[in-house]
Structure 1
Amino acid sequence: MNISRLLAGTIASVSALLLTVVGCGQSQDGVVGTAPPATVDSHDHPSEGPHHGGLIELGNEEYHAELVHDDAAGTVTVYLLDSAAKAAVPTEAPELLVNLSHDGNAEQFKLVASPEASDPVGKSSRFTSSDAELAEDLDHEGAAAQLVVTIGGKQFRGNIAHVAISMNGFLVARAVAIAVLATASLSCVHDLAYAAELNQTAEKKDETPAQKLSTEFREAAERATPGLVTIYTMRGPHETPEWRSMEARGGTHPSTQKTSGPAAYPDAGSPDEQGSGIIVDSQGLILTCHHVVAAADVVFVVLPDGRRFEPVEVYSDPEADLALLRIEGAGELSAVRLGNSDELEVGDWVVSLGNPYELKRSVSAGIVSAMDRWVPGIPHPMIQNDAATNPGSSGGALLNLDGEVIGIITGAFGSREEFQGIGLAIPVNLVTDFIGSRNNERPPMQAYLGCQTQKLSPEVAKQLELPVAGGLYVKDVEEGSPASKAGLSEGDIITHFDGQPIDEGFRPEQLHDEPKPEEKHAFSVVRGGRSIAMVVKMTGYPHERMDTQALAAEHAVTPCEYFDQALGMGLTTLTQDVARELRIPIDQKGTLITEVAVASPAYKEGLAAGMVVVRYNEHATVDPKLYETAASSAPADRPVLMLVRSSKGNHLVVFDVQ
């Protein structure tokens, strides 16, 4: 290597890695791929891409690949661009490869498709990896990386060779990017030989079957992780355990009236419940389970980067146990890719991705145990699998080995809280129907009858002298449902459905699975020993749509010395007797919280009756009067820093400026 040529080309970028793009050819000293100075560009395209990354030519300037290596975030992103290196070029390829070699070791990494908002459905112009090893290896001295990408069914390769030397105590780095097309001209023979050698080296790396499977699991989880979120919900009044105990014992109460009924959760210091969700649209549409958000007074979505948002809309289907949450102001998000659950077979490997027990991303693997598993009370078939499912996993993703979502985790089947090896997930093909129904793009996924039934055995049917060897006993009929309007009642026995006898071969779920909304179906029913014919007009399952910004109920003021209307909490003077009951030092000075209005700012930040406000910004709040003075003098454009005391110690609560 001609060191003087290397220094001349790299002295301008001693603080960072310079990506320089050249075509096929050979330098004067015989080193393949030595680039001309950055100021000399033999091709008519920018020196960097739209995202300020280095450019790699693909083919005869047919396309470009822009490489953005974010050391701080530990991510590597590649954008596919047109011949002018300006416009995005979406491709159907689910991933692109990076074959990397250094110190005699060869590794292969995958960058998965992360579609931009402007990309067509099913295509992506952006590919990302958060693999710390890839980011680190790209910085490795002497590392050589080869980019392999398929565009329009044609494979292109771009090789990036890194060379580094030390000069006056600091590192000077230079990157040489060479684009290679499989059908390149003879003038590119040196580049082709180097690319082939690098590719063969990567392929020679032996992996055991277990290592290959481990890699598949890891990469599948990595593809979907950017689209995994945590869902927090709050329900019912907020009270500390000591406050509830004091009320239950009839202890000293600072007000003349109870502030609220029994609390819905044991610890006011943390959210009531927690679940998982996935991003299904980059503009802020989150999918989770209905039971995660059902009857919640407050819902929060926490993104992978830690930002917290309160959804502006919740669209829910209680019967299907699905819910869509819409958030605003989050910018462009990384959406998961939805697969095809109809392609699953028993024995296929699956990966579960969720946030159980308030832990961050948790990955588990298993196999499909059964398809079309019908579970009592659920109107559609489920995917049974043995990947671990624990509290907090509901709403998470069940993935195939391509990292595509093929199911939404709903929970586990069993009588005990710990996982019994039977996990259940809603097939993603049903989920796409539900997402479409939100925008009225297609009808609800299943017909709604509105009754619960239990199958009768042939033996019982014979004893009852029924006309069929079976039947469905009607256990319950929902008021106002299609079944109720048709005249179906509790105690009826359904013997025929559209002329088909309900015997051992009949699945009760067929009453919901096969009919479509607005269709009419014939039922034969035995009531009091007589056979009755009736026609039922099915409807779609009723969906719930809530505007969460209007959920906060008006506060019914209870007796207190001061009620903070802005934050939504009642306050009174703390006495030594009450402090003792609440397990707070009897010499503690502060203002006691006696009530927190549901869905108020104080409620959303976890404050509860039984806590003591010690400071409001820079003011000590010895009594409600001083609290009121501090609140009234607080600048409107600055956050409120509130120091709160409970039996667990002091806590700082920050109320952001609205």
Structure 2
Amino acid sequence: MLRAFWVLVLSFALLIAQALSAAARGAPESFADLADKVSPAVVNITTSTTVATRGGPMPMVPEGSPFEDFFREFNERGPQGDQPPRRSQALGSGFVISEDGFIVTNNHVIEGADEILIEFFSGEELPAEVVGTDPNTDIALLKVESDSPLVFVPFGDSDVMRVGDWVMAMGNPLGQGFSVSAGIVSARNRALSGTYDDYIQTDAAINRGNSGGPLFNMDGEVIGVNTAILSPNGGSIGIGFSMASGVVTRVVDQLKEFGETRRGWLGVRIQDVTDDVAEAMGLTETSGALVTDVPEGPAAEAGMEQGDVIVSFDGVEVADTRDLVRQVGNTEVGKTVRVVVNREGSTETLRVTLGRRETAEGSIPAVGSVPDKPATEEVLGLTLSEMTDELREQLGLDTSDDGLVITDVATESGAYSKGIRAGDIVTEAGQQRVRTIEDLQARIEDARNAGRKSILLLVRREGDPRFVALPLS
């Protein structure tokens, strides 16, 4: 009797273990039920644009449209002379996020469109209006008016997705209509070229025309918006990118409320803390964001200084510049946050009231180009000239601006390998101002006496500052 009891217990435990193992793998026998569930909320998007004919620029056709090649060929061999305006069409994908008709897609799918037509899985078609767009994340929010509530899909939490999890993509690849592909999460937190990039990489087939379509988890929740592919031939090779829902939901909420994005702005220029920069500054870690400039704005008002290393923002540790930009951008405009900085070996906590990035962007002008000037001194492979009134005028600088103008860089020097070029201006060395060649030489001597292998220079190029750790040998 006892033996039979233990056999039963072991059998039950084996069944539980098998069930848990299957759940952990998350590999469905079929995606059919999931596809049936979410298909009514996935849409095809057709845009129409009035374009000029032969003699003008190529019509604006979003990347991925099957009409892209047609218009290129037409523009190259079409008839000469004035022709009546033509209508171009482009195709993309999207998905419904509310029963009252809000639809998410990519900004590049609808950018420049005069008319936007939404085709549902049922075949019904409705015109759409643009609620708002965000080119920084390539997200657009549309709205349709329907007599009956629309089937919609919810957003899921992209942050809980793990490499190896199953995902399913839906959309309108190559204009072929509703199509499903499946794969796994290949990588997380990918960055392509945008400031706020947080892409999920997947091997689910994504092709041109899939842009704006949803990437689903196995619960039918949208955890990404299919945006881009990496391909040598324009077709899917299993490297696709979907903007993570953690980014998309914040953008969509702001577009829905304001018709535009409203991101937090700290008001600093920053760069990553590299190994050589950390050594030159005497830091033990390479995390954080090094402040290269503090123009007029929230950070300056709070007392932040050039050379500070931001190590914590609003209670969250800062890994690098990309991490800080995302944290600040996701914080409410007008919120007062605690920012912890490392300043000359000790930490200080500043209280900063954030401004709005969209208002501040482009407010700081760049200076003009620098003409070559005769060399006055050569230091560490740099040919340097002290600032003169003539140089200030040529550079478009204020009369109070100082520094050393780099007129030449030895190509075999460490300075050249670090990206320093003629026309750059050295304003600090060892985190102290330099106005003369003697100032720079004194800072170099101080660094050598302290046993440093490099010296930290603050270099400006067309108004954009950055720190460079220059080897002393």
TM-score by length of 1: 0.39
Contact kept in structure 2, 1:386 and 1:423, CA below 8 Å: yes
**Residue of 154, 178, 194 corresponding to 1:361:** 178
Partner amino acid for 2:199? Answer: M
Conserved in 2, the CA contact under 8 Å of 1:380 and 1:509?
A: no
User: Displacement, 1:504?
Assistant: 10
Q: Does 1:516 align with 2:322?
A: no
Tell me if 1:237 matches 2:51: yes
1:383 maps onto 2:197 in alignment: no
Q: For the structure 1 residues 366 and 247, does the alpha-carbon distance in structure 2 shift closer, same or farther, using more than 3 Å as the test?
A: closer
Residue from 27, 34, 43 that aligns with 1:220? 34
> Post-superposition shift, 1:350?
0.8
1:323 paired with 2:132, answer no
Partner in structure 2 of residue 614 of structure 1? none
| Number of residue pairs the alignment of both structures matches | 312
**Residue 277 in 1 paired to residue 94 in 2?**
yes
Alignment of 1:453-468 (within 5 A): 454-462=271-279, 465=281
Out of 354, 362, 373, which is 1:538 matched to?
354
Q: Which has the larger radius of gyration?
A: 1
Superposition deviation, residue 365 in structure 1:
0.9
Counterparts of 1:250 and 1:432, CA distance in 2: 44
3-state SS of 2:35 partner: helix
**Counterparts of 2:207 and 2:230, CA distance in 1:** 11
Residue by residue, what CA displacement relative to the aligned partner does 1:357-389 show, whole Å, maximum 9, x if unpaired?
Answer: 112112111112234445552425332222122
Q: Percent identity?
A: 29
CA distance in 1, matches of 2:291, 2:115: 37
Rate the CA distance shift 1:254–1:378 in 2: closer, same or farther, 3 A.
closer
Query: Corresponding residue for 1:400?
Result: 217
Query: Helix, strand or coil: the match of 1:417?
Result: coil
Name stretches of at least 5 consecutive residues in structure 2 with no aligned partner. Answer: 1-21, 59-72, 360-473
Q: Using a 3 Å threshold, how does the CA distance of structure 1 residues 315 and 386 change in structure 2: closer, same or farther?
A: same
Q: Which moved more, 1:532-541 or 1:216-225?
A: 532-541
- Residues 99-143 of structure 1, C-alpha deviations (whole Å, 9 max, x = no match): xxxxxxxxxxxxxxxxxxxxxxxxxxxxxxxxxxxxxxxxxxxxx
Aligned residue identity for 1:370: A
Output one character per residue of 1:335-376: Cα deviation in whole Å (capped at 9) or x when no partner.
224444344332211111111211211211111223444555
1:291 aligns with 2:108: yes
Q: Is the CA contact (8 Å cut-off) linking 1:386 and 1:422 kept in structure 2?
A: yes
State the SS of the aligned residue for 1:459: helix
| Partner residue of 1:495 out of 296, 299, 309 | 309
Asked if the contact 1:233–1:300 (Cα under 8 Å) also holds between the matched residues in 2, the reply is yes
Distance change (3 Å), C-alpha of 1:448 and 1:365: farther
Secondary structure of the residue aligned to 2:97 is: strand
CA contact (8 A) 2:102 2:143 kept: yes
For residues 340 and 482 of structure 1, the distance between their equivalents in structure 2, rounded to whole angstroms, comes to 32
Distance in 1 between residues matched to 2:166 and 2:75, nearest whole Å: 53
Q: Does residue 412 of structure 1 match 2:245?
A: no
Give, in angstroms, the shift of residue 452 of structure 1.
Answer: 7.3
- Code of the aligned partner of 2:47: T
- The whole-number CA distance in structure 1 between the counterparts of 2:147 and 2:38 is 18
CA distance in 1, matches of 2:223, 2:243: 8
Code of the aligned partner of 1:353: M
Whole-angstrom CA distance in 2 between matches of 1:475 and 1:231: 44
In structure 1, the residue corresponding to 2:104 is in which secondary structure?
strand
**1:334–1:542 Cα change, 3 Å:** farther
Counterpart position of 1:639: none
Q: 1:252 to 1:504 in 2, by over 3 A?
A: closer
Residue pair 2:198, 2:247 contacting (<8 A) in 1 also:
no
Matched residues in 2 for 1:486 and 1:422: separation?
Answer: 44
* Matches of 1:310 and 1:487, distance apart in 2: 51
Cα gap change, 1:304 to 1:486, in 2 (>3 Å): farther
- Superposed CA offset, 1:425-453 (max 9, x none): 23335444444445549x97964457775
The 5-angstrom pairing of residues 439-478 of structure 1 reads 440=257, 447-449=264-266, 454-462=271-279, 465=281, 470=286, 472=289
**CA spacing shift, 1:317–1:506, aligned 2, 3 Å:** same
Residue range with higher mean Cα deviation, 397-406 or 344-353: 397-406
TM-score normalised over the length of structure 2: 0.52
Contact 1:407 1:426 in 2 (8 A): yes
Name the one with the larger helix percent. 2
Spell out the pairing of 1:132-211 with structure 2 (5 A cutoff).
none
Closer/same/farther in 2, CA of residues 346 and 467 from structure 1, 3 Å limit: closer
Give 1:512's aligned amino acid. Answer: R
State the alpha-carbon separation in 1 of the partners of residues 212 and 108 from structure 2. 9
Matched-pair contact (CA < 8 Å) for 1:446–1:513? no
Letter in 1 for 2:142: L
Distance 1:247 1:440 in 2: 41
Structure 1 residue 414 displacement after superposition: 6.1
Q: 1:331: Cα distance to partner?
A: 3.6
Deviation, 1:411, is 2.0
Counterpart position of 1:352: 169
User: Which residue of structure 1 aligns with residue 399 of structure 2?
Assistant: none
Decide whether the 8 Å contact of 1:216 with 1:401 is kept in 2.
no
Letter in 2 for 1:516: T
Give the superposed CA RMSD.
5.0
Match of 2:239 in 1: 422
Aligned pair in 2 of structure 1 residues 353, 542: CA closer, same or farther (>3 Å)?
Answer: farther
Q: 1:215 to 1:454 in 2, by over 3 A?
A: same
**Native 8 Å contact 2:131 2:255 kept in 1:** no
Q: Which runs of 5+ in 1 are unaligned?
A: 1-208, 261-267, 527-531, 544-658
**Pairwise CA distance, 1:454:** 4.5
For residues 582-641 of structure 1, what are the alpha-carbon distances to aligned partners after superposition, in whole Å with 9 as ceiling and x for unaligned?
xxxxxxxxxxxxxxxxxxxxxxxxxxxxxxxxxxxxxxxxxxxxxxxxxxxxxxxxxxxx
User: How far did 1:300 drift?
Assistant: 2.8
Instruction: Give the aligned residue type for 1:322.
Output: I
Shift of 1:291: 3.1
Where does 1:49-60 land on structure 2 (aligned, <5 Å)?
A: none
